């Protein structure tokens, strides 16, 4: 390499570096269109001929190889552009891309000054003219997809022509600058058409996948929330009485135990009551009327007691009301007010008897409290019904 002139050394370095990048990248990138595969393969030509220039000890042959490295590259690119839409010529183009540098190398061995033939001046000038016309039309028609390729070809052709026509020393460095610019444009065009495009597609696919995952996650979350709401509804339904909508015996006892466990030092009361002579109401007026009385009784209870008070159906016409933070005296007064409200009923008229028990005075668990309230209720029945009794009265 050191027997080259400095200009030829720089020339060869420019060609080898950029051609190696484009040619080798075309093999490593799998998803390439046929035109880009041909484009990448075309740079085998300058790569091979520059290697042959380096291995040749004949300066004339070396200079000829460097010239044809780029002339044949531009010719090959024209062929690729001309036949890119014709798939029948795909294998022919591949063959030519590999065969042309070998054919030139054989000719170059037999003709020392082949590259100095004036015919190539006319061909390069024709290439320049065609490229200028194509670029002008692309600019006017605003076709930007191939402009970089045409500018690169124009720059390489211009570098070849400047050396062949230039008689002063400044033509060589200008030619090298223009040549480096052309190869840089080629590399950028290849990157934009392959790696960058794949990155954009990958980024787009990843964004779409993320959006799909987000939508799936939102849908899963929505479905889970729906299931949880349904489960909560089912749980609430299982805790409520079908006729009255109030809590069942099991649910009200569970709430009582939970209140004792969570607030063992608190105070609360329970009321146990039922309809006086309810069997007579059913026998005289019928079970439909009896159910109507039970529903009406629950309605009166809901309007009499606080929102925090909990109503539960203990069975038949028997109910329990849980009164949080309520002393025995206050519970008794509230129970009596409720009794008076029920006493106002008509069609049919009925009354209730009520038993009151308080925690922790009358029991330390739900079972003890219910037993105490039930005894107080029984006491109200014995005393003539339509009255309120507290366990303290029994003592």
pLDDT at 126: 92
Q: E strands, the chain, where?
A: 268-275, 310-315, 318-324, 352-359, 388-390
**Residues 260 and 354 placed together within one structural domain of the fold:** yes
CB 81 within 8 A of CB 153: no
pLDDT at 2: 41
Asked whether residue 126 is domain-assigned, the answer is yes
**Residues 178 and 282 placed together within one structural domain of the fold:** no
Residue ranges of the chain whose pLDDT lies below 50: 1-3
Is residue 91 within a helix (H) or strand (E), and if so which, with residue range?
helix 90-110
Q: Tell me which of 193, 224, 257 is where a domain ends.
A: 193
Asked whether residue 371 is domain-assigned, the answer is yes
**Residues 15 and 138 placed together within one structural domain of the fold:** yes
Count of the separate structural domains present in the chain: 2
pLDDT at 132: 92
Asked whether residue 214 is domain-assigned, the answer is no
pLDDT at 92: 64
**Residues 90 and 12 placed together within one structural domain of the fold:** yes
Asked whether residue 224 is domain-assigned, the answer is no
Asked whether residue 349 is domain-assigned, the answer is yes
Residue 211 to residue 199: CA distance in whole angstroms: 18
**Residues 266 and 357 placed together within one structural domain of the fold:** yes
pLDDT at 353: 94
Q: Tell me which of 193, 225, 257 is where a domain ends.
A: 193
Residue 266 to residue 279: CA distance in whole angstroms: 38
**Residues 36 and 185 placed together within one structural domain of the fold:** yes
**Residues 188 and 254 placed together within one structural domain of the fold:** no
pLDDT at 339: 94
CB 48 within 8 A of CB 2: no
pLDDT at 341: 94
Residue 376 to residue 392: CA distance in whole angstroms: 9
Q: Tell me which of 193, 217, 235 is where a domain ends.
A: 193
pLDDT at 40: 82
**Residues 75 and 159 placed together within one structural domain of the fold:** yes
Q: What is the pTM of this model?
A: 0.53
**Residues 174 and 305 placed together within one structural domain of the fold:** no
Which CATH number belongs to the domain containing residue 353 in this structure?
3.30.70.270
Asked whether residue 226 is domain-assigned, the answer is no
pLDDT at 111: 56
Note down the domain range covering 134.
6-193
User: Token pair of 332, please?
Assistant: 């008794």
**Residues 261 and 189 placed together within one structural domain of the fold:** no
Asked whether residue 227 is domain-assigned, the answer is no
Q: Hey, what long-range contacts does 170-179 have (CB within 8 A, 24 or more apart)?
A: 172/7, 173/7, 176/7, 176/10, 176/11, 176/14, 179/11, 179/14, 179/15, 179/70, 179/155
């Amino acid at each position: 390499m050191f027997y080259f002139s400095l200009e030829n050394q720089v020339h060869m370095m420019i060609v080898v570096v950029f051609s190696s990048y484009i040619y080798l990248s075309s093999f490593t990138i799998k998803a390439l269109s046929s035109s880009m595969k041909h484009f990448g393969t075309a740079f085998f030509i300058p790569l091979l001929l520059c290697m042959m220039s380096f291995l040749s000890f004949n300066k004339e042959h070396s200079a000829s190889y460097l010239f044809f490295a780029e002339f044949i590259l531009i010719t090959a690119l024209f062929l690729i552009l001309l036949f890119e839409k014709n798939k029948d010529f795909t294998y022919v183009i591949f063959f030519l891309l590999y065969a042309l540098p070998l054919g030139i190398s054989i000719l170059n061995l037999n003709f020392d000054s082949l590259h100095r033939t004036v015919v190539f001046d006319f061909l390069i000038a024709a290439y320049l003219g065609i490229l200028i016309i194509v670029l002008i039309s692309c600019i006017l028609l605003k076709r930007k997809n191939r402009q970089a390729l045409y500018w690169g070809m124009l720059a390489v052709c211009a570098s070849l022509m400047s050396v062949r026509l230039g008689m002063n020393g400044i033509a060589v460095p200008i030619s090298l600058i223009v040549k480096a610019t052309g190869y840089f444009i080629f590399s950028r065009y290849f990157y934009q058409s392959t790696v960058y495009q794949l990155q954009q597609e990958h980024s787009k696919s990843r964004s779409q996948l993320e959006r799909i995952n987000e939508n799936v996650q939102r849908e899963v979350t929505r479905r889970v929330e729906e299931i949880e709401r349904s489960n909560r509804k089912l749980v609430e339904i299982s805790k409520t009485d079908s006729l009255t909508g109030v809590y069942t015996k099991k649910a009200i006892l569970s709430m009582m135990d939970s209140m004792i466990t969570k607030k063992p030092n608190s105070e609360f009361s329970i009321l146990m009551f039922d309809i006086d002579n309810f069997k007579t109401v059913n026998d005289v007026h019928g079970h439909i009327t009896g159910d109507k009385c039970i529903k009406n009784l629950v309605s009166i209870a809901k309007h009499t007691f606080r929102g925090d008070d909990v109503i539960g159906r203990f069975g038949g016409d028997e109910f329990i009301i849980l009164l949080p933070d309520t002393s025995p005296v206050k519970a008794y007064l509230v129970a009596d007010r409720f009794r008076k409200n029920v006493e106002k009923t008509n069609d049919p008229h009925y009354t209730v008897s009520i038993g009151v028990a308080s925690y922790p005075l009358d029991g330390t668990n739900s079972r003890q409290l219910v037993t105490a309230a039930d005894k107080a209720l029984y006491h109200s029945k014995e005393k003539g019904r339509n009255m309120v009794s507290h366990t303290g009265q029994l003592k």
